[in-house]
Amino acid sequence: MPHNLKASTALVWAAGFLVMTSHGALAQEAQRVRGAIESLSGNTLVVKTREGTEQTVTLKPDWKVRGIKKAAVEDIKPGDFVGVASLPKADGGDGALEVLIFPGAMKGTGEGSRPWDLRPNSTMTNATVAKAVKAVDGHTITLTYQGKEKTISIADDTPIVTFAPAGKADLVAGARVIVMGERAADGTVSAANVTVGKNGVVPPM
């Protein structure tokens, strides 16, 4: 596959991920399924969720797979566009729960800060890194978005990930996934994309 086609394909599914996470109205209707694959048969995906229940997801026609691989805090540079899930800290500011480094071509997509369901009271901030500082007990990044600024500390054990190529062959039993789906009025869940951790990585979003 030519490089430019690979890049455009990656941009399409990554943009789809951001659409599902960036708008409050959609986020309220969205069904995020996190867990380990139990089975995949045709367009039917069964996930053992982090809550311990089984969730069946109907995959839409032409559904896509995207991968998540491990990165390092040293990979975060000023000017990068990142998504950071965080929680308020008792002593002020926010502490990162995870950091997702987006491709440079996606800078600015889904920019903003909004509630997130990774943990109670968590937020997701998609923003540009204005500066990154290393401290004795970890790192701190200052994010800028929509004329605002937010400083988030990153402990040494914070998961840092980025996108990676993946295919349907990666969707094996036991693989950890996050599915940005939609729950219909009858309770059924459907999705156009599945995000899978590569090499044992658990998608931390």
* The pLDDT value given to residue 30: 82
CATH of 3-69+163-197, one of 3.30.70.260, 2.60.120.460, 2.40.50.140, 3.40.50.300: 2.40.50.140
- Domain ranges for the chain, please list them: 3-69+163-197, 70-161
* The pLDDT value given to residue 147: 94
* The pLDDT value given to residue 72: 94
CA atoms of 166 and 178, how far apart (whole Å) = 14
* The pLDDT value given to residue 136: 67
pLDDT averaged per 10 residues, the chain (length 205): 42 44 48 96 97 96 96 94 95 93 83 94 96 84 95 95 95 97 93 96 93
174 close to 15: Cβ distance less than 8 angstroms? no
Q: What tokens were used for 38?
A: 């139990």
